[in-house]
Structure formats: C-alpha cells, structure tokens
Amino acid sequence: MKRYPHPVVAREGWHYLAVMTGASALVTWAVGWAFAIPFWITTLFVLQFFRDPAREIPENPDAVLSPADGRIVAVEKVVDPYLDRESVKVSVFMNVFNVHSNRSPVDGEVKKIWYFPGKFVNADLDKASLENERNAVWIRTDEGIDVTSVQVAGLIARRILCYVKEGQKVSRGQRYGFIRFGSRVDVYLPPESRILVGIGDKVYATESILAELK
C-alpha cells in the first residue's frame, strides 16, 4: 500500500495544537486538573478538527469524488459563474467536526484559479456560494470535461488554503487545499452528469462518489 503523503494531523493545525497543549499543561501544573479540564477539551477539539486521515480511492474512472467531508446541502441546475456554462452544482457543507482537508474530485489539469474576497455568512446558506470568500479551481479532465471545485469560507472560517497552481496535473483524491473552521465546497459539473447523491446525504472526501461523468 502506498504511504499516505500527509501527516494524520494536518500541518495546518500543528501551531494551534502546540499552543493549546502547552496552555493546557501549564494550567494543569499551575492550578490543577479541575481548572485545566476546559483547556484539555479545547485541545482535543483542535486535534479532531485538524485530523487528516488517509482515504481509499474508488476504482471507477468516471467517478466525481467528494472534495470534502460533510453533508450535501445543494444539488441543482445552475450557471457555473466561473466558466459561464450550464451545469449541475453539488454542494458539501462542512461543520466544525468534519475533516477540513480538501481533495481533487477528478483527474486532470488545473486550467485556472480564481480567488474572491467576500463575506463570512453561514456556509449552510446557498447565498454563501456567491457572497462569501471563495477560491475556485477549474480542472479539465484528460477527456476534455470541465469540473469546477470551489472552496467557500463559512461563518467562522477565516483562511482558505489552496496548494495547486495553474497548469498543474492533479489526481483524484489528491489533497489540494484546506479550510479552517467550518465551510463548504461547491462542485460544478456538466449538466449531463449522473448525480448519485441527494440533499442531506453524508459524504466523505475521496471515498464518496458525487456523480459520474458521461
């Protein structure tokens, strides 16, 4: 089995975890366990938030994989605002207890990346897709099919991290970004795609299939 190329606890959280662990230990040493319990609970929350487990990649070559853990909050026909085309949007909402590492939904080449500063309204709301801070990645598959994956900041998210660049090749399930503290990811697909999820479904990054490309 190929070794997972990322730490089980995401590097994005190492600073927060170190600070909280140090603070918890200091309070425990200074005033005892009773007063330190809230600090250790917060440390455990930070640890679970920044976990980044390895995932099995489905073998189906036509599959569009979920780019994030969470719950499906939208499946609708819309105009892709980035490529100006008819599309189906599938949105995954991540709460603070979900893994926040983002993975590429398809194999292909990154054609363009757009970043937009914006608001920080609740990412569970549909208007967040176009009003919140967001980072959109346009990926073209080897078959020439366009997929747009958009990281959207949430109510308390204040940092969208994207690690891919234009012209870069990406693989399904490849880690390409991270969003800190609650958010959503929108995936814009060709209208003829076969959608395999519905609103309310729980999905897991890489392992869950959102749709099949035709």
Write out the residue range of the structural domain in which residue 91 sits. Answer: 63-212
Query: What was the pLDDT predicted at 125?
Result: 58
Q: What amino acid positions are annotated as catalytic residues? A: 183
Based on the fold, state whether residues 169 and 203 are members of the same structural domain: yes
Domain count, the chain: 2
1, exposed or middle or buried, with CB in 10 Å at 0-12, 13-18, 19+?
A: exposed
| Domain assignment of residue 5, yes or no | no
Based on the fold, state whether residues 45 and 71 are members of the same structural domain: no
Q: Where are the alpha helices (DSSP H) in the chain?
A: 14-31, 33-49, 128-131
Instruction: Report which listed range, 4-13, 92-101, 116-125, is most confident.
Output: 92-101
Based on the fold, state whether residues 23 and 80 are members of the same structural domain: no
| Domain assignment of residue 4, yes or no | no
CA distances from 73 to 25, 153, 208 (A): 40, 15, 15
Based on the fold, state whether residues 135 and 179 are members of the same structural domain: yes
Phi then psi for residue 27, to 5 deg, are -65, -40
Specify whether the CB–CB gap between 151 and 94 falls below 8 A: no
Based on the fold, state whether residues 42 and 75 are members of the same structural domain: no
Based on the fold, state whether residues 21 and 127 are members of the same structural domain: no
> Helix, strand or coil for residue 15?
helix
What percent of the chain is predicted at pLDDT more than 90?
Answer: 58
Query: What was the pLDDT predicted at 66?
Result: 97
pLDDT, one tens digit per residue, over 72-105 is: 999 999 999 999 999 999 999 988 888 888 999 9
pLDDT, one tens digit per residue, over 148-189 is: 999 998 666 557 889 999 999 999 999 999 887 668 899 999
For residue 121, name the pLDDT band (cuts at 50, 70, 90).
Answer: low
CATH number at residue 102: 2.70.70.10
Based on the fold, state whether residues 88 and 134 are members of the same structural domain: yes
- pTM, to two decimals: 0.84
Query: What was the pLDDT predicted at 1?
Result: 40
Based on the fold, state whether residues 83 and 154 are members of the same structural domain: yes
pLDDT, one tens digit per residue, over 20-69 is: 899 999 999 988 888 889 999 989 988 877 888 888 899 898 999 999 99
Based on the fold, state whether residues 77 and 43 are members of the same structural domain: no
* First and final C-alpha spacing in the chain: 30
